[in-house]
Amino acid sequence: MNTTEWTGIILAGGQSRRMGSNKALLPVKGSTLLSQIASSMIPEVARIIVAGGSHVTTYAELGYECVQDQYPGKGPLAGLHAALQASDTNWNLVCACDMPLIKPSFFAGMKQLAESSDQHSVIVPRIAGRVHPLAGVYHRRVLTELTQCLDQDRLRVTGWLEEMNPLYIDVQELESVGVLDAVDQLSNVNTPQEYQSIRNHER
């Protein structure tokens, strides 16, 4: 599968309550979290869609292609649903907007793993027992089950994920495709303290 057969999806519709301001627009490495993730993703996809929730207008003004949730207020599953509906490719790289250390190598590696395991509709990292559902590969065929979950207000991401029988990828498998620092790359920021730690990491 080449680049034209992949879409990138960035989930950036959260309320960022613990941060106190929109995480996607926080400065990092001379740009913003959203821009940083888009830059890391773009070499591997033909198109990037931002699921923006209530921030759609703001992101659109910055030049991003955005989609509005069809299930407003229902969290990241609603954002994933809206973006997959808008996607014109079966295969999609998905990332939340709060992983400032993620690199192109992660997305390239996940694509490589997907291309050798295409019987799975969902492929996500599981590192030291922790699943990272918002940094992975999703096939559009999950839309039926995803719609059912949203209709039934079953909004827990990990609960839905388990129903999808995902392929879990561990550190060793990521290393085998060139992702050598997965723990760092998948670190996210939710609080001002975590954000400051990332800024200190830049220096």
Residue ranges covered by each domain of the chain: 3-202
Say whether 13 counts as a known binding-site residue.
yes
Residue with tokens 């954000």: 195
Question: In this structure, are residues 45 and 3 in contact, taking their beta carbons and an 8 Å threshold?
Answer: yes
Say whether 38 counts as a known binding-site residue.
no
Across 10-34, average pLDDT: 87
CATH 3.90.550.10 assigned to domain 3-202? The reply is yes
- Ranking 20-24, 47-51, 111-115, 159-163 by mean pLDDT, the lowest is 20-24
pLDDT digits (tens, 9 = 90+) for 103-159: 999 999 999 999 888 789 999 999 999 999 999 999 999 999 999 999 999 999 999
Say whether 12 counts as a known binding-site residue.
yes
pLDDT of residue 118: 75
Q: Which residue has the higher pLDDT, 117 or 91?
A: 91
What percent of the chain clears pLDDT 70, i.e. is strictly above it?
98
| CA 131/CA 58 separation, integer angstroms | 30
- What mean pLDDT is reported for the chain? 93
pLDDT digits (tens, 9 = 90+) for 164-199: 999 999 999 999 999 999 999 999 998 999 988 888
Say whether 73 counts as a known binding-site residue.
no
Say whether 118 counts as a known binding-site residue.
no
Say whether 98 counts as a known binding-site residue.
yes
